[in-house]
Amino acid sequence: MTHRREFLQMTTASLFGLSLLPKRRSFKLTISNPIKPLVISTWDFGLQANAAAWEILNNGGRALDAVEAGVRVPEADPNIQTIGLGGLPDRDGHVTLDACIMDEHGNAGSVACLEHIVHAISVARKVMEKTPHVMLAGEGALQFALSQGFQKQNLLTPASEKAWKEWLKKADYHPVINIENQLAPATPNTMPGNSFNHDTIGMLAIDQQGNLSGACSTSGLAFKMHGRVGDSPIVGAGLFVDNEVGAATATGVGEANMRICGTHTVVELMRQGYDPEQACRLALERLVNKDPDYARSIQLAFLAVRKDGTIGAYALQKGFRYAVYTPDVPNELRESKSFY
Ligand code: ASP
């Protein structure tokens, strides 16, 4: 309880327009031996994506170009049913894509619920570079993509159509987690909902100049409600880049992530001095503390890199893997620690 005296002091301070907040301390990270270039990305498909990004980084290219090129790899792969071409559709049979990109200047572009265009990440980049906006959604995003020369194509592959038709037999729409549990039963290597019916490619890179960029792209939750948008196109949820501090990306149930503005939280925790792994854990802890039963029943994972090239990750459930490519680590998969 605030004592009367403290309250009076507060009131006096407010009256005189004095800020009660501590003075802003600027972030100073001593970087003695930065790791660069570097690229990290979510899940096993991150290996191929990293390889494409590395080509650019190793030749002195910009991190922004690297993350776009990297993310385009799983977007174009029809066998990956959670991203781009071949993504599992919503419950009405539409493949709808979410993507976001951020550069070293803090510029951002994103698309939500975009249909018929394979490379949602490249449309997001065009939104960032060619419009006064940050996000375009649905029909407007498609119109814009077509105006920029992107080709319209059917993203629903026979395999994804078959999976959708199978789902339609019951069409049992429950809150998200139930759907995931039905469709992605745990195996010795995966947790429910971990790998089959939703997963985002999230990629973060540091170029030889030491600049950071990030990108992420997904078809979102399989058999979601038409019009559902996840965390991936939301700046500060699916992706956040601050060239002064570091960057973070997310994968897992977007609804959970949006409730804690996850990647912005991770970057701000790094600004406060936490290392990337601690920052990822602390961000997830907000959800764990607020809603432990929910947190226990879903997957959500963060992947982060600090400006000096220190990497960290944390997940709610076991089984979250990410791919790392640095001058000393030639593209390997690592598994993150988890709460449960
Ligand atoms: N975060 C994505 C979404 O909610 C899905 C995922 O990464 O698993 O749309």
Q: 115-129, 156-170, 172-186: which has the minimum mean pLDDT? A: 172-186
DSSP notation for 202-240? EEEEE-TTS-EEEEEEE--STTPPTT---STTSBTTTEE
* pLDDT of 127 higher than 90: yes
Q: In one letter, which amino acid is 66?
A: A
Cα 253 to ligand 1 centre (Å): 5
* pLDDT of 202 higher than 50: yes
- pLDDT bin (cut points 50, 70, 90) of residue 13 is very low
**Hey, which residues does 235 pair with through a beta bridge?**
239
User: What domains appear along the chain, each with residue ranges and CATH number?
Assistant: 31-338 (3.60.20.30)
Residue ranges lining ligand 1, Cβ < 6 Å: 198-200, 218, 220-221, 230-232, 251-254
* E strands, 121-220, in order: 135-137, 201-206, 212-218
Cα 222 to ligand 1 centre (Å): 9
pLDDT, averaged across the chain = 88
* pLDDT of 3 higher than 90: no
Which of 218, 298, 303 most suits a substitution to test ligand 1, by most atoms within 8 Å of the C-beta?
218
Cα 25 to ligand 1 centre (Å): 35
Read off the tokens for 134: 């940050």
* pLDDT of 184 higher than 70: no
* pLDDT of 177 higher than 70: no
Atom of ligand 1 nearest to the CA of 255: 4
- The residues that are catalytic are 200
* pLDDT of 207 higher than 50: yes
Q: Whose CA is nearest to atom 8 of ligand 1?
A: 199
Cα 186 to ligand 1 centre (Å): 18
Which of 199, 255, 317 most suits a substitution to test ligand 1, by most atoms within 8 Å of the C-beta?
199
Q: 23-37, 119-133, 151-165, 285-299: which has the minimum mean pLDDT? A: 23-37
* pLDDT of 314 higher than 60: yes
Which of 221, 239, 263 most suits a substitution to test ligand 1, by most atoms within 8 Å of the C-beta?
221
256-279: pLDDT as tens digits: 999 999 999 999 999 999 999 999
Cα 32 to ligand 1 centre (Å): 36
User: What residues have CB less than 8 Å from 45, skipping those under 6 apart?
Assistant: 73, 74, 77, 80, 83, 201
pLDDT of residue 170: 85
22-81: pLDDT as tens digits: 555 566 777 778 899 999 999 999 999 999 999 999 999 999 999 999 999 999 999 999
- pLDDT bin (cut points 50, 70, 90) of residue 245 is very high
DSSP notation for 260-322? TTHHHHHHHHHHTT--HHHHHHHHHHHHHHH-HHHHHHS-EEEEEEETTS-EEEEESSTT-EE
Read off the tokens for 202: 């999230």
Q: Which residue has the higher pLDDT, 220 or 3?
A: 220
Cα 196 to ligand 1 centre (Å): 11
Q: Which residue has the higher pLDDT, 173 or 292?
A: 292
3-class secondary structure, 43: coil
* pLDDT of 20 higher than 90: no
Rounded percentage of the chain residues whose pLDDT exceeds 90: 81
